[in-house]
Structure 1
Amino acid sequence: MSEQEYRRRLQEARNRAVRLYDRLILYPGYQAESIRAGVLDVLEDAIPELENNPNQDTNGLQLIFSLIELYEGITDEL
């Protein structure tokens, strides 16, 4: 994966996580709060860690997308 593609995918992950977080604000309850906390961890910790890593971590990037997809699926069931 080229550096440009890797950065584009990181930005895509960030955008999806932000949209999901914004959507979760509308949901009350403990489940939504727990998912929001997980999404916030992705936004504040996981994505910046990959952005600041001088080497591409494609496994980490895939894990972030997997987490976002998991959180999206759970949110759809709320």
Structure 2
Amino acid sequence: MCFALPYKIESIKNNIAIVGDNIQIDTVLAGKVKKGDWVLVKDKYAVNKISEKEALDMIELLDKTRKAGGQNVC
């Protein structure tokens, strides 16, 4: 099962953003976003804008799950 994962927008132009390891995503579903915003990404689409705290909390939880031998979430 794949979840939507948090990414920080590194650059954006015409609703196409670059996040993470030079991954291109479409931001049209997430509404108005800008460089530095955090979004949840599913299948190369930003589906929701989230706060930095929410993103960092999710990253921490995902890291703990991986370290505990949990299922890979994509």
Give the TM-score taking structure 1 as reference length.
Answer: 0.32
Structure with greater Cα Rg: 1
> Which structure has more helix as a fraction of its residues?
1
Give the TM-score taking structure 2 as reference length.
Answer: 0.34
> Which structure has more strand as a fraction of its residues?
2
